[in-house]
């Protein structure tokens, strides 16, 4: 029996729709989405559809840009980054599933600047856990949740592409 309090997890697909509505009023004509593998990539794909964007999304894996790479080493599921558009001077929306310490976001911003200097970078996430270690905040976020540090909020996609949340013990 777990001593951790139970938490009602929201419908992640409904959250994507909420996130799209938060973004829509501030969307510029040449804005492009960049999803962080893997949860952010799923959310970015969904946002592209919901917002009716025609431009391809960018996908990045921040494994080599993390400040704890030396301690963590290479993860088994490293995916290639793909930025199929010119970053220079474009407004970007960086998309991730969960914002927690801010270190993944920092790594993603570092990698994006390897592709050029964007006009701006805004951050869109489905969930903000708080407990930041860096001065980073989400511009767009439909859900703020306070979890015990021993818990991990995990976004997954089922065989039909439906997104869902679960809780796991933090490794």
Instruction: Supply the pLDDT for residue 64.
Output: 79
Instruction: Supply the pLDDT for residue 52.
Output: 97
Instruction: Supply the pLDDT for residue 1.
Output: 43
**127/155 Cα distance (integer angstroms):** 10
Instruction: Supply the pLDDT for residue 65.
Output: 79
Mean pLDDT by 10 residues, the chain (171 residues): 69 98 96 96 97 97 71 61 96 98 95 97 97 96 95 94 93 66
CA 165 from centroid of its chain's CA atoms: 14
Question: Which class is 12-169 in CATH?
Answer: alpha beta
Instruction: Supply the pLDDT for residue 77.
Output: 67
Phi, psi of 44 (to 5 degrees): -60, -40
Burial of 54 (0-12, 13-18, 19+ CB in 10 A): exposed
Domain segments of the chain as ranges:
12-169
């Amino acid at each position: 029996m777990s001593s951790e309090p139970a938490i009602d997890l929201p419908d992640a697909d409904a959250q994507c729709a909420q996130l799209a509505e938060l973004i829509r009023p501030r969307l510029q004509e040449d804005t492009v989405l960049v999803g962080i593998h893997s949860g952010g990539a799923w959310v970015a794909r969904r946002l592209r559809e919901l917002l009716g964007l025609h431009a391809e999304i960018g996908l990045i894996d921040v494994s080599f840009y993390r400040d704890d790479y030396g301690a963590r080493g290479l993860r088994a599921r490293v995916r290639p980054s793909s930025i199929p558009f010119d970053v220079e001077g474009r407004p970007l929306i960086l998309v991730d599933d969960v914002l927690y310490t801010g270190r993944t976001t920092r790594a993603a911003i570092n990698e994006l600047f390897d592709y050029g200097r964007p006009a701006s970078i805004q951050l869109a996430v489905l969930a903000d856990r708080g407990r930041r270690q860096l001065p980073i905040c989400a511009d767009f976020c439909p859900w703020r949740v306070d979890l015990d540090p021993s818990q991990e909020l995990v976004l997954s996609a089922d065989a039909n592409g439906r997104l869902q949340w679960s809780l796991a013990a933090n490794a």
